[in-house]
Amino acid sequence: MGKGEVEEQEDIFQAILLADNFGVSIFGSEWADKQNPGGNQFGEDDEDEEITQNKSKEDEIAPGFTQESLMHLGNRKLIDYALEALTVSGVQEIYIFCSTGTKGGDALKAHIKDSKWSDLTVKIQVICSEDCQSLGDALRELDAKGTIRNDFILMSTGVITNKGLKPWLEMHRATMKSDKGAVMTLVHRVVPEGHRSRSSNSRTSVVVDASTRKILAYNERVPEKRIKVPLASIKEEMEVYLDTVDSGIAICSSSVLPLFTDNFDFANMVDFIKGILMNEEIMGNTIYVHRLEKGYANKITDFDTYLGISNDIMERWTYPLVPDMPFGSNPDDSIYSMNFNFVYKVTDVECARNAMIGPNVIIGSKSKLNEGVQISKSSIGNNCVIGKNVFIEHCQIGNNVKIGDGSKIVRSILLDGSIIKAASSVGPMVIIAEGQTCKIAIEDTFEKSDDEEESDDEDDFKSEGSFAPEPDNQESDTKRFCAEVLESILRAFTDNVDLDNLAVEIHGSRTANFMYFDDVPNAVVKGIVGVPLKLYPDFEQMPPKTQWDKTSEVMVRFKKLMPQYVKTDKAQKIVLQALEEHALDNAYFRPLLMKVLHYYYDIDILSQEMILNWYKTPSEYTGAAELRKMVEKFIEWLETASEESDSEDDDE
């Protein structure tokens, strides 16, 4: 081989794309069994079976459904997001590794053949294997084939990123020049705990050399008492990353595959990382991390992140990988237009005038939404029929799905061709495919190593459940935002902070927690009336007159803050609902509610019309009827004032 051929070979930009998670499903073990026909079968729950009309006699589901890389995310195949990132970055050869055998591989090949990927000059090859049970097995097989000859990108199918990959490869190569033992650079993105796109099971801690970002210690769990760092690795300046998640992107040197081949105990990425760190002095290999603070790079690891990243896409954090941009599709595919409240739809969609759509909704071509439909934070595929008065929230609905009148679908996935009978209740946490119903589970697959178990025994460690998964990430975001606003208002009250500075701080909390402007009046009014309870430990035991004096003092202090957030009838409605919720959650506040309403009426925050509408509108909350009785005198006074005003107008 001549010198010119060697240089040409070294210039080839290559990538390995993992099409699946080697028997582990982002939707839990029950769905994972469907990828293996010999596994446990589902559809045993008679109650679940009743909601479908097309129950299949065969338990095995077609690979086009069970191959997770071909499932929909925002009305596009999941694998298209990864392929777009790779091809746009200039990758010349992409090797897609599929461990579900020829059936899964054939489904992947068919998708690539029928999409734009087959028309590109990029070489895309699907490699199928039923014998590989782990990442380590897959990389050892690829090493044996000799397909990877250069530094390369290792990526999971569940990765969504709008960052170019070539600069990271060049950065890694620059690192290799200064550290010849550098074999890998991991890309970690800053995502705070509790964020909707961060798994509740993501608790990784990474200790790095502050000057070089070389990894010194890596833990799958954030230790509550200590983090072990090898003595030889201790540096003068070290940083601990607790606020990052593995994006599923690794920049690899050409020596990575031989390292897996030489070490059969490397089953997964964590084994590899820990093995390199433990043997750094012997083998001389090192791993680095790139901390991504701007741009988007994240990986779907479970159902929560699946839904969270779906909302990130619809809210355009992943731009240009958004619904109204043509990527991963054929030229004749439908084009989406973006409307208010992040609602995306094709022009041929039939939508009833009284349907309530948004926020964060995608509606595919030729779909029909009938009267009374309510849809939020969901994707609806092509040629779907949504019956009258159907409620859909946090769902992914495939193509050609029919949902009967009066049904409720929550936090679920309906794959192509599903038929739901009228008045059915689906979810939360189910997948329906080919007439079969499977429960989704968010499972913690972490297994402690022996040294970590020993460490727990020595420390008498007891978990306090600080990482328990939230039932709904959006609800968790809202609670955190309200708590931050309350703390800001409390600090502003005690430290006499200027209201303009307080407004800036509230705005910062809103953007950091991805809240809408409509969420602010709720948080602000609850924060204002909640300050006395925080400020005075014995507040609930105080006489009612003292409680009102303390509460009104805070309300007067922030009376000029409220008009910034309560400018519309909708905002007034939000304030009234927030006060009602606060009263129902806090018994001490119920006798104060009438005076609070009166005060906000006097300073023109709440109008007579909106207060009366709130009072006369039935509430879904338990105890709301009794609460309204407690404000009857104020309502009667308002109605009398309204009648007198009308009488004066008539006299004029």
Share of residues in the chain with pLDDT > 70 (%): 82
Report the CATH number at residue 91: 3.90.550.10
| 453 in any annotated domain | no
286 and 365 inside one domain: no
pLDDT class of 3 with cuts at 50, 70, 90: very low
534 and 428 inside one domain: no
563 and 439 inside one domain: no
How do residues 224-234 score in pLDDT, each as one tens digit?
A: 555 666 555 56
Single out the residue of 312, 300, 395, 220 nearest to residue 25, CA to CA. Answer: 300
| 342 in any annotated domain | no
Sequential DSSP letters for 113-144: HTSGGGGSSSEEEEEE-SS--SHHHHHHHHHH
Distance, in Å, from the CA atom of 459 to the CA atom of 648, rounded to the nearest integer, reads 78
Among residues 424, 443, 462, the one where a domain terminates is 443
| 324 in any annotated domain | no
406 and 491 inside one domain: no
How do residues 565-601 score in pLDDT, each as one tens digit?
A: 898 888 899 999 999 999 998 889 999 999 999 999 9
Give the total number of structural domains in the chain.
Answer: 3
pLDDT class of 81 with cuts at 50, 70, 90: very high
365 and 477 inside one domain: no
How do residues 527-571 score in pLDDT, each as one tens digit?
A: 999 999 999 989 989 999 999 999 999 999 999 999 988 988 888
Which are the contacts of 519, defined by CB distance < 8 A and separation ≥ 6?
478, 481, 510
pLDDT at 288 over 60: yes
Share of residues in the chain with pLDDT > 90 (%): 49
What was the pLDDT predicted at 649?
52
Report how far apart, in Å, the C-alpha atoms of 177 and of each of 10, 174, 216, 277 are.
16, 5, 19, 20
Both tokens of 259, joined, read 């390292």
109 and 209 inside one domain: yes
Which are the contacts of 215, defined by CB distance < 8 A and separation ≥ 6?
186, 206, 207, 208, 273, 277, 286, 287, 288, 289
- The dihedral sign for the CA sequence 450, 453, 455, 458: negative
412 and 495 inside one domain: no
pLDDT class of 450 with cuts at 50, 70, 90: very low
Among residues 247, 277, 304, the one where a domain terminates is 304
Distance, in Å, from the CA atom of 40 to the CA atom of 533, rounded to the nearest integer, reads 53
pLDDT at 223 over 60: no
Distance, in Å, from the CA atom of 441 to the CA atom of 30, rounded to the nearest integer, reads 8
Which are the contacts of 165, defined by CB distance < 8 A and separation ≥ 6?
15, 85, 86, 89, 91, 153, 249, 251
What was the pLDDT predicted at 212?
92
| 312 in any annotated domain | no
Determine contact, residues 136/266, Cβ cutoff 8 Å: yes
| 87 in any annotated domain | yes
213 and 165 inside one domain: yes
pLDDT class of 27 with cuts at 50, 70, 90: confident
128 and 39 inside one domain: yes
What was the pLDDT predicted at 436?
85
| 281 in any annotated domain | yes
Phi, psi (5° rounding) for residue 24?
Answer: -105, 125
Among residues 244, 279, 304, the one where a domain terminates is 304
Determine contact, residues 89/14, Cβ cutoff 8 Å: no
Determine contact, residues 52/421, Cβ cutoff 8 Å: yes
pLDDT at 55 over 60: no
Which are the contacts of 280, defined by CB distance < 8 A and separation ≥ 6?
181, 232, 233, 286
What was the pLDDT predicted at 345?
93
How do residues 398-447 score in pLDDT, each as one tens digit?
A: 999 999 999 999 999 999 999 999 999 998 899 998 888 888 887 654 44
Q: Is 557 exposed, middle or buried (0-12, 13-18, 19+ CB in 10 A)?
A: middle
Distance, in Å, from the CA atom of 350 to the CA atom of 273, rounded to the nearest integer, reads 52
Report the CATH number at residue 499: 1.25.40.180
Residue type, 140: R
Average pLDDT, the chain: 83
291 and 415 inside one domain: no
| 322 in any annotated domain | no
400 and 278 inside one domain: no
* Bridge partners of residue 509, in order along the sequence: none
Both tokens of 376, joined, read 């939020």
Single out the residue of 135, 112, 16, 21 nearest to residue 67, CA to CA. Answer: 21
**pTM greater than 0.85 (yes/no):** no
Report the CATH number at residue 381: 2.160.10.10
What was the pLDDT predicted at 443?
63
How do residues 463-474 score in pLDDT, each as one tens digit?
A: 333 333 334 445
Distance, in Å, from the CA atom of 7 to the CA atom of 4, rounded to the nearest integer, reads 5
| 338 in any annotated domain | no
- For residue 167, give its domain range: 10-304
392 and 485 inside one domain: no
